[in-house]
Amino acid sequence: MTATSVEERRSGLALLRSYWPAWLDVFGWVGRISETRYWAWLMLLPGFLLISVVIFYPVISGVWLSLHEYNLLRPARGQPFVGLQQFIDLLEDERFWLSLRNTAYFGVFNVLNPFTLGLVIALALKRAVRGAGLVRTLILMPWFMPSVVAGHMWALLLDSRLGVINDILVKLGLLESYWPWFARTETAMPAILLVGLWRGFPFFALLLLAGLQSISQEMYEAAAVDGANALSRFRHITIPLLLPVIVVAITLRTIAVVNSPDLMIILTGGGPGLATHVLSFYAFQTAYAAFDFGYAAALSVVMLGILIFFTLIYLRVAGVNRD
C-alpha cells in the first residue's frame, strides 16, 4: 500500500488521492499537529463539542426528574424531591416487570434474528456470484422505506381482512381462514418480530458485508494453502477479524431496538392486552398520555442502566478478543 500500484492509478479517485499528500504539505501544520500528543484530543474535539451541546442538559435533567415527583397535570404540587421512591414504586409495579420481560423477549430476538439472516446473506454476497451486485442493492430496500410506510404496509400485508399473506396461506392450505395476527396474544409479538426482521436484516447485511470486504483475501489464500477447510477459515479468520464490526452492529441495534416503540405504536399499540407492551412504549405512554414525567424519567433511567450494562459487556467482549 505504500507505493501506489499501477492498478490504483487507473481509477480517478486514486489519482485524486495521490495529490492529497501534496495538498496536505501546503497546509503542513495538519500533518505536524498530527505528530504531536494533542492529536488524539483534537480529533475527538469536534464530536465532543457537538454532542455535549445536546447531551448534558437532557440527561442531567432526566436523572434529576427521576428523583423528583413531576406530574404536569398537577402543577400545584411542584416538583418535590422524593429520592428513590419512584424506583421503589417500579419494583412493585407489575406492568414494569411485564414490560421488562417483553422488552427482553423483543430485544433478544429482534437483534439475533436479523443478525443471523444478515450474516448469512453477507457471506453469500461475499462470494460474488453473478447477480450479487443486484441482490446487494435490492436487499437494502426494506431499510430505505420510511417506517410509517413500512409499518402500515406490513399491517396491510398481515391484515385479517385485506392481508395478502393470509390469502396466500389460505390458498396453500396452511390456514383455514384469515388469521388476526396482531389481535392474538400468541402471534402479536412474533408478527412484530417478523416485521423487525425485515426492517433489520439489511443493516446487518450491509455492515457485515463491508466488514468482510475489509478482510484481506491473502489471509484466506494463505490459510487455504496451509490446508485449513472452509469451516476453520470461518472460525479462525472471518469471525475474529469481523468481531469488532459484529460487536458494533449488535450494540447499535440493541440500543435502537430497546429504545424505539415505533413498531408497537403503529402495529399493536402495546396490545392485545399487554402482549407487546415494552419499556419504551411504557415510558412514552407514562410521559405523554399520563403526563407523569417523574415516573417516566425513572423508567428511562432504568432503561439507560440496562443499555449501559450491555454496552460495557459488548465492549469487554470486543476488547478481550483483540488484545
Partner 1 sequence: MQLSFRGTQRLYRFLTAAVLVFAGIFALFPLVWTGLTSLKQNTDVITAEMQYLPHNPTLENYFELWSRKSFVTLFGNSVVITFMTVSLCLLVGTLAAYAFSRYRFTGRNAALVGFLLIRMFPMVLMLIPLFIIMRNLQLLNTRVGLALAYTTFLLPIATWMLKGFFDAIPPDLEDAARIDGATRAGAIVRVVLPLAAPGVAATAVLTAIAAWNEFLFALMFTTNEASQTWPVGLHLLVGEEFNLPWGLLSAGGMISIAPIIVFFVLAQKSLVRGLMQGAVKG
Partner 2 sequence: MSKLTRRDFLKGSAAATAALAGNALPGAARLLAQDNPTVDYWHGFIAEFVHAGFEVVLEQFHQANPDITINPLTVPNSEFMTKFTTSVVGNAAPDTTMAAPTRIPDMVAIGGLQDISGRVSEAGLMDAIPAAHWDGATIDGAIYGVPSFMFVDWMYYRADWFEEAGLDPPTTWEAFTEAAIAMTDAENGRYGFGMRGGNGGQGFVTKVIEAFGSPIIDDMGQPAMDFDKAVAGLRWYTDLHTVHGAVPPSVANDSFRQLMEAFQTGQTAMLWHHTGSLAEMRTVLGEEGTFSTALRPQGPERQIASATPSYNGISMPGDGEADASWEWIKYWSEVDTQVNFLELTGYFPSSALVAEDERVQGNPLYAAALATVNEVGPPTRFPGSPGWERNVVLPNFQRVLLGEITPEDAVEIMMEGLEEAVSG
Q: Which residues ranging from 265 to 304 are in contact with partner 1 (CB under 8 A)?
A: 280, 283-284, 287-288, 293, 296-297, 299-300, 303-304
Residue environment code for 23-55, b if the CB has 16+ CB neighbours within 10 A, otherwise e: eeeeeeeeeeeeeeeeeeeeeeeeeeeeeeeee
Binder to partner 1 among 256, 272, 291, 317 (CB under 8 A)? 256
Binder of residue 137, out of partner 2, partner 1, none (CB less than 5 to 8 A by kind): partner 1
268 binds partner 2 (CB under 8 A): yes
Cross-strand partners of 292? 71
Q: Is the dihedral of CA 220, 222, 223, 225 positive or negative?
A: positive
Binder to partner 2 among 104, 112, 237, 265 (CB under 8 A)? 265
Site string for partner 2, 272-301 (x = CB under 8 A): xxx--x-------xx-xxxx----------
Contact, 235 vs 120, CB < 8 A? no
Binder to partner 1 among 90, 193, 247, 275 (CB under 8 A)? 247
Is 278 exposed, middle or buried, given 0-12, 13-18 or 19+ CB atoms closer than 10 A?
buried
Site string for partner 1, 138-157 (x = CB under 8 A): xxxxxxxxxxxxx-xxx-xx
Distance CA 141, CA 113 (A): 18
The helix/strand/coil state of 292 is strand
Helix-helix angle 94-126:239-259, to 10 degrees: 140
Binder to partner 2 among 6, 53, 73, 172 (CB under 8 A)? 73
Q: How far is the CB of 313 from partner 1 (least distance, A)?
A: 11
Pick out residues in 158-177 that bind partner 2 (CB under 8 A): 159-162, 177
250 binds partner 1 (CB under 8 A): no
Q: Grid coordinates 381462514 are at which residue? A: 177
Residue (240 or 273) nearer to partner 2, CB: 273
Which of these, 108, 101, 82, lies nearest to 297 by C-alpha position?
82
| Cα–Cα separations (whole angstroms), residue 64 to 61, 140, 234 | 5, 41, 48
Binder to partner 1 among 26, 83, 137, 320 (CB under 8 A)? 137
User: Near partner 2 by CB under 8 A, which window of 26-34, 182-190, 239-247, 304-312?
Assistant: 182-190
Binder to partner 1 among 31, 116, 174, 273 (CB under 8 A)? 31
Q: How far is the CB of 175 from partner 2 (least distance, A)?
A: 12
